[in-house]
Structure 1
Amino acid sequence: MTLSSLAKLVPSVDWDLYVHHLLPSNSAKHPSQIVVTSPDYIAKVSKLVGTETSTRTLQAYLAWRVMFAFGDALGEDIRGPIRRLNSKITGTNPKSVKPRWDTCLDEVNEDIGFLAGRYYVLNKFGGNAKEKADEFVNSIKEVFLARLPKLEWIDDETREKAVQKVDELVRKVGYSDVTPDIMSPVSLSDYYADLEIQNDTYFENYIKARTFAVEEEWRQVGKKPDRSKWLMNPQEVNAYYNPSFNEIVFPAGILQNPFFGSNYPDYLNYGGIGVVVGHELTHGFDNMGRHFDAKGRLVQWWTNETAAQFDEKAECFVKQYSNFTMVDVNGEAIHVNGRLTLGENLADNGGLGEAFVAWKERYDSDKESKRYNNVRLPGLDQLSPEKLFFVNFGRVWCNKVTPAQAKKGVLTDEHSPGKWRVNGAVQNSNHFAKVFNCPVGSPMNPTHKCELW
């Protein structure tokens, strides 16, 4: 939208003043257009702010948001009440306090994450980890492409463009090597040149770092997007698919145990990081990612018929996951939101199937030469490599949460709870049912399965 059209939609906010305040001082002019991701929501906010809320209430709310945002960086007299509030929300013990070193490490990651990432990469990401991760991406990509012709619900026109999207998929593994180059002290120094850190001014550093981050974001206004830039630090245990750039990104932090081990047998690595690779690739074709083409443009590249088929099949997952429940603080069942979690559920299911097929094809073709590592684990002779693939898939999503935190996750997180990320996906897996000999009609092998990618 243009600023003037946004002003008409949301008249309660002085957008011209807001944008002017955030733009760098050397910026020549305001952007001609800005992206409004949720116009319905922001229009309702305008009404709430403009006519339905008193000035005193708004002032109190804004003051509270400032306190909540900055309270953790202040003294115990401020941190304590906020910690007690968060404990109520998550059901944890308010007396349980993270050691100070842990808090400070979090702050280093938040403020100068790329700089800290250099030392993490030097210490933890060596050998052939990058090459092996590329192998996983290649093998799973090939499985996805090989499956496309077998999906009868996709017509030829859409299938051809889906192949193009996979072919043009950009992959980033390990760490940033351009903006900045993690391995170059000079590049890092240039990147953080405008951020001044003092040894004895913790709160000032906190403010400066957040100001630096906002200014860094707004410096991009009017410029061509930097496709080399990473949205995560190399030490993060996470991964992502960026639809605007059609890229999948795997920081060095997730290329560690239990997701990936250089000495792990392939069946464990494919059940861990392999599923993550398939998960991120499938995000390019979930209910949100599918709207972006091979170049990352938000265009309609699906035919109407294929789009309708997709929606029909996706609805199966919505219904399935909406039947899953967690127990809240009162011992009552609270249902997973199958529509909120749809994209992640599609990615979990697609990633699991793609990773298993990629590993099994590699395993079956390698029985004689033993080029790949699929040695059996001592003491686990009763579990075949096929079974251990699924065991490790379950292992990487093991977690323990309080009932209050579980409820908060169900209400707000686009991911299903860990239990259902695993059990939901294996319920739909014919491979799992065959490997574990699950009777047809049993909870882990229902008669009707949801399937898309």
Structure 2
Amino acid sequence: MLIVSSPEYIEKLHTELLDASTTRTVQAYFMWRLIRSYSDALAEDIRKPVQRLTAKLRGTNAKVTKPRWEICLDEVNASLGFMAGRYYVLDKFSGSSKKRADEFVQSIEEVFVDRLPELTWIDNVTRARAEEKVDNLMLKVGFPSAYPDVMSPVSLSDYYSELRMEPDSYFKNYLKSRTWDIVEQWRQVGKPPNKSKWLMNPQEVNAYYNPVFNEIVFPAGILQNPFFGNEYPDYLNYGGIGVVVGHELTHGFDNSGRHYDAEGRLVQWWTNETSKSFDEKAQCFVDQYSNFTVEGNNGRVVHVNGKLTLGENLADNGGLGEAYLAWKQRYDSDRQSKKYNNARLPGLDNLTPEQLFFVNFGRIWCSKSTKEQAVQSALTDEHSPPKWRVNGAVQNSKHFANVFQCPVGTAMNPAKKCELW
């Protein structure tokens, strides 16, 4: 079975683009894609023109490039990521980090399930199946323990046994690593899915939800400042990694992930009535985010694509609410025993723990980009611009409005709020 996630695109690619292009144009395009793919690993006479083009698109200075050590480190990560990940985990991911991260996930899963009966737009049949999907959710935290076991030199050696590197040819090693990776992927064709496989390296600052495995994955790399700190107060950690956990969990129930059931099968497990209610509520987010804009050069204003970004927006909004409720329940139940760390931070006595939860949520998406890059991202990225990932979510958050006492009808507390999960 071949899953085509965007059939309309494939159809239009054929009828509106390929049929209207000459064979020479198509060949030239493929040649350019080949050059673009390999340019970073080739000599300066090829690399420099591509860098100038990229700089023009992003509005940066073509003369400012990555230092050579960083380029080489990126290549190690791309070619021998699990091997490099072993040393990262040994140095940075120790102690109780994994145990605490597991606890965060469990608490947010519980909030998600406990809140389902409050969602009147979901009928009992769909609600029961949603609970089953959360119960079946597979959690991977830190690093893989199989295929390969990052903590086992023997397992790593077996995993990379057919990747033979040469000490004196950077480009040959570049090609070998790509070839090895493609061969490894083709070996999986026709076999049962290997659910122990990770799609990210342990050192990556990222996370993902995989619908066909119904799994959420948090590499060790994201379990660090500003997302997570083993000594951080809980209100910061829940405002950071807690929101990320809720985000990935909610992806299982966004406009795409909801089509996969508890076993990762692409089937219709929602009733027609609940599906219709979902679409109606999701449209609120499409309309809201489509009104957000970014500013380009010469006063150009580009709107966020509310349809393109819908899945990520639903995950951002759901993750924020789930993380806040999970932390607040823990915090309110712990006023006497002080089992959890919610110590106040020196110099921030003017902010409550509730407010600092949201402050850290804003902090994790702090970023800076050129106007060209902002426009390019708004046009192509399935994520909303960082500013709107934060402001869009808090506009819909009743908790945020209460904590900061935002008057109704203001930008941060509009009268109409979008809500799903």
Smaller-chain TM-score bracket:
over 0.9
Q: Deviations over 1:320-349 (max 9, x none)?
A: 001111101222221101111000000000
Question: What secondary structure is seen at the aligned counterpart in 2 of 1:330?
Answer: helix
Q: Does 1:260 align with 2:231?
A: no
The separation in 2 between residues aligned to 1:401 and 1:379, in whole angstroms, is 30
Instruction: Give, in angstroms, the shift of residue 43 of structure 1.
Output: 3.8
Q: Does 1:159 align with 2:127?
A: yes
Counterparts of 1:349-360 in structure 2 under 5 Å?
A: 349-360=317-328
TM-score, normalised via structure 1 length: 0.91
Letter in 2 for 1:216: E
Which runs of 5 or more structure 2 residues have no equivalent in the other structure? none
Q: Deviations over 1:369-406 (max 9, x none)?
A: 11100000001000010000000000000000000000
The separation in 2 between residues aligned to 1:222 and 1:153, in whole angstroms, is 40
Counterparts of 1:301-320 in structure 2 under 5 Å?
A: 301-320=269-288
Give the equivalent residue in structure 2 for 1:96: 64
Instruction: Give, in angstroms, the shift of residue 136 of structure 1.
Output: 0.3
Question: What secondary structure is seen at the aligned counterpart in 1 of 2:316?
Answer: helix
Q: Deviations over 1:37-69 (max 9, x none)?
A: 434433444446764322322222221111111
TM-score, normalised via structure 2 length: 0.98
Identity of aligned residues (%): 68
Letter in 2 for 1:217: Q
Contact 2:18–2:26 (CA<8 Å) still a contact in 1? no
Letter in 1 for 2:346: P
Give the equivalent residue in structure 1 for 2:299: 331
Instruction: Give, in angstroms, the shift of residue 194 of structure 1.
Output: 1.2
RMSD of equivalent CA atoms = 1.1
Counterparts of 1:323-402 in structure 2 under 5 Å?
A: 323-402=291-370
Q: Does 1:106 align with 2:74?
A: yes
Inter-CA distance 51–332: structure 2 relative to 1 (3 Å threshold): closer
Give the equivalent residue in structure 2 for 1:447: 415
Contact 1:49–1:58 (CA<8 Å) still a contact in 2? no
Q: Does 1:429 align with 2:358?
A: no
Q: Does 1:416 align with 2:375?
A: no
Question: What secondary structure is seen at the aligned counterpart in 2 of 1:77?
Answer: helix
The separation in 1 between residues aligned to 2:161 and 2:17, in whole angstroms, is 39
Q: Does 1:170 align with 2:164?
A: no
The separation in 2 between residues aligned to 1:444 and 1:39, in whole angstroms, is 38
Correspondence for 2:163 among 176, 195, 202:
195
Give the equivalent residue in structure 1 for 2:217: 249
Inter-CA distance 38–203: structure 2 relative to 1 (3 Å threshold): same
The separation in 1 between residues aligned to 2:5 and 2:348, in whole angstroms, is 51
Instruction: Give, in angstroms, the shift of residue 121 of structure 1.
Output: 0.5
Q: Deviations over 1:56-95 (max 9, x none)?
A: 2222222111111101101111110000000011111111
Give the equivalent residue in structure 2 for 1:216: 184
Letter in 2 for 1:172: K
Correspondence for 1:299 among 236, 260, 267:
267
Instruction: Give, in angstroms, the shift of residue 193 of structure 1.
Output: 1.0
Instruction: Give, in angstroms, the shift of residue 416 of structure 1.
Output: 0.4
Inter-CA distance 100–300: structure 2 relative to 1 (3 Å threshold): same
Question: What secondary structure is seen at the aligned counterpart in 2 of 1:409?
Answer: helix
| Count of residue correspondences | 421
Inter-CA distance 37–314: structure 2 relative to 1 (3 Å threshold): closer
Q: Does 1:82 align with 2:50?
A: yes
Instruction: Give, in angstroms, the shift of residue 309 of structure 1.
Output: 0.4
The separation in 1 between residues aligned to 2:54 and 2:366, in whole angstroms, is 23
Give the equivalent residue in structure 2 for 1:71: 39
The separation in 2 between residues aligned to 1:51 and 1:353, in whole angstroms, is 48
Question: What secondary structure is seen at the aligned counterpart in 2 of 1:248?
Answer: strand
The separation in 2 between residues aligned to 1:162 and 1:37, in whole angstroms, is 22
Question: What secondary structure is seen at the aligned counterpart in 2 of 1:257?
Answer: coil
Question: What secondary structure is seen at the aligned counterpart in 1 of 2:47?
Answer: helix
Letter in 2 for 1:156: N
Give the equivalent residue in structure 2 for 1:232: 200
Q: Deviations over 1:241-285 (max 9, x none)?
A: 000011000000000010000110000000000000000001110
The separation in 2 between residues aligned to 1:345 and 1:288, in whole angstroms, is 12
Letter in 1 for 2:407: P
Give the equivalent residue in structure 2 for 1:182: 150
Instruction: Give, in angstroms, the shift of residue 147 of structure 1.
Output: 0.3
Inter-CA distance 429–210: structure 2 relative to 1 (3 Å threshold): same
Question: What secondary structure is seen at the aligned counterpart in 1 of 2:231?
Answer: coil
The separation in 1 between residues aligned to 2:338 and 2:50, in whole angstroms, is 57
The separation in 1 between residues aligned to 2:59 and 2:274, in whole angstroms, is 45
Instruction: Give, in angstroms, the shift of residue 34 of structure 1.
Output: 3.7
Counterparts of 1:31-50 in structure 2 under 5 Å?
A: 33-47=1-15
Give the equivalent residue in structure 2 for 1:438: 406
Letter in 1 for 2:24: R
Q: Does 1:270 align with 2:234?
A: no
Contact 1:141–1:166 (CA<8 Å) still a contact in 2? yes
The separation in 1 between residues aligned to 2:409 and 2:332, in whole angstroms, is 29
Question: What secondary structure is seen at the aligned counterpart in 1 of 2:255?
Answer: coil
Inter-CA distance 354–35: structure 2 relative to 1 (3 Å threshold): closer
The separation in 2 between residues aligned to 1:47 and 1:303, in whole angstroms, is 35
Which runs of 5 or more structure 1 residues have no equivalent in the other structure? 1-32
Inter-CA distance 49–390: structure 2 relative to 1 (3 Å threshold): closer
Give the equivalent residue in structure 2 for 1:8: none
Give the equivalent residue in structure 2 for 1:133: 101
